[in-house]
Structures are given as C-alpha cells and as structure tokens.
Amino acid sequence: ESATAFSRLMSDMWLGEFECVSPEAFHSVFGKRYPTFSRRTPHDAQEFLICVLDELHEAFKEVRAQLCRHRAGAEARGSGSGTSIITQLFEGQLSYGITCLKCNTITDRPESFTVLSLPIPSRRVCSLQECLDCFFQPDTLTWNNQIHCYWCGTNQDATVKATITRAPQIIIFQLKRFAWQDKHRRKLSTTVNYPLRDLDLSPYSSTFFYNVYSLHAVVNHSGDIDYGHYTAFCKHSTTKHWYSFDDVQVTKIPDSAVQTDTAYLLFY
C-alpha cells in the first residue's frame, strides 16, 4: 500500500499535470504503517528516510520474488528474496578489519549500509573529505571494548578500520550535527564544504575502483534540536538545474547556493 501511494506521488511529480503536488496521501498511508510519523511533531529526516527505504524494499522485494516464481516456476521459489531495486541503488557494504594487537591476526567483519553517518571533526569549518577521513580512520579498542581473539583465546586490545568493499550507485551521507556536549545534546552549526561533483571514494576502498560521484540532492535542517524546519535542494536530472523545495515554494537556484551551513543529508 505504501509503495502504491509512493508510485502515485512520483507519477504526479514527474508527469507535470499539476502546478504543485502534496505528499499528504503518501504520508497518510505511511503513517498507518509507522504511527510515530503520523503525529504532527518534529522527527528526524534520516530516521524517516530509512523507514521509507525499508518499506519500499519490502514491497519491491515481494514483487520481484513473485515475478521470479511466475517466470521460472517452483525452481525460482525464494530467488531474489533479499534484493530489490532499493538495495541495488542504495545499499553498499563496509568491511571492518579488526587486528589483534598481541598476535596481529586480522578478522574481517562485513556490514551493509544505506546511510553513512559522518562525524564532524571541527566546530567551525571543515570539508566532507575531512569528515570521511575521520570516519575511516583506525580506532583502538581497549579496556571494556576489547575483542575476544580466537587465536589468543583471551580478550585483547585491537585496532579496527572500516573500508568500502562495495559502493552503492547512490550513496547517502548524514552529517552528524546532533552531538553530546557537556552532558547536553546540541546541534553543531559547523560549515561543512562538500563538492558538487568529482567526489572520489577510492581512497576509502579495499579494492580498486574509480567511482566518481556527483551531488544530486541535499536535505537541510534549520533551527535547533527541539524545533526546526527541513528544506531540500534537488538537481533536475535532465536540465541539471538546481531547485530549492521549501514547503509550497519551489525556486530555481544557482549552483553557488547549493553549499549551505544547514546541510544534513547529502545524496551523491
């Protein structure tokens, strides 16, 4: 039901038959599935995005499985059960290399991701590259965070380092603007400079690939942690022009206006 409502919303947006399109019908259907988002209270855009992608994945996965069974009969039962157009577009994979500091044994732990939540290493200004460097830098596990080394047979200090083993076609970054400071959760207003094109993720990959990404959308959050307003910047796939979406206001903007201090989610 949610997938049907979403497809109607996409059709209304792209066919151009209406001067403006409201997502109210989709929101109503989606709210029945996720009651938390049905209330008129502030919610996190990343949490909403994850729920939408999960909901669409489950719907499209079932459709794909039915098509496989219909085309190939009983032999195809269960084929494609874990994949959908959502996973094909948005899902990537990390590998966490865990090295025991006593015997130097390396253990790889794979983990799928849809959104990479990047720490912001500066309070004033930094680049997306610095956020990525911070996310992928090695970390040391000691004390209560020690690993149990299979070869040593005991808990040991270790280092862990993440690398990308499979990059998605569309990669989503969350800038972690909400952080704990002095026992209080605050919003970071750090300026994060992000490129509009030529984002190369090969330095963070365990295998050689040259996937250069271009920015296609930005979700902005203005306001504080308890009250705020979301807007979006989106690049038209045909004209390559950027547009600002602010409730009922849709405005064409220059490329220079896409860089903003309120960026929260980046879609490459």
For the range 230-237, what are the long-range contacts, defined as Cβ-Cβ under 8 Å and sequence gap of 24 or more? 230/45, 230/264, 231/262, 233/257, 233/258, 233/260
Query: What confidence tens digit (pLDDT) does each residue in 122-174 have?
Result: 889 999 999 999 999 999 999 999 999 999 999 999 999 999 999 999 999 99
72 pLDDT above the threshold of 70 = no
- Contact (Cβ atoms closer than 8 angstroms) between residue 117 and residue 174: yes
88 pLDDT above the threshold of 70 = yes
Report the pLDDT value the prediction gives residue 38, as an integer from 0 to 100.
Answer: 82
Query: What confidence tens digit (pLDDT) does each residue in 164-209 have?
Result: 999 999 999 999 998 777 777 788 989 999 999 999 999 999 877 6
Mean pLDDT of all residues in 91-99: 97
Which residue do the tokens 């865990």 mark? 98
- Contact (Cβ atoms closer than 8 angstroms) between residue 130 and residue 119: no
105 pLDDT above the threshold of 90 = yes
Q: Identify the weakest region by mean pLDDT among 28-37, 63-72, 101-110.
A: 63-72
Q: Determine phi and psi for 230, rounding to 5 degrees.
A: -100, 135
256 pLDDT above the threshold of 50 = yes
Nearest to 135 by CA among 160, 109, 111: 160
Cα 239 to the center of its chain, rounded Å? 25
Distinct helix (H) and strand (E) counts, the chain = 5, 19
Average pLDDT, the chain: 90
Report the pLDDT value the prediction gives residue 152, as an integer from 0 to 100.
Answer: 95
Structure-token pair, residue 247:
């409730």
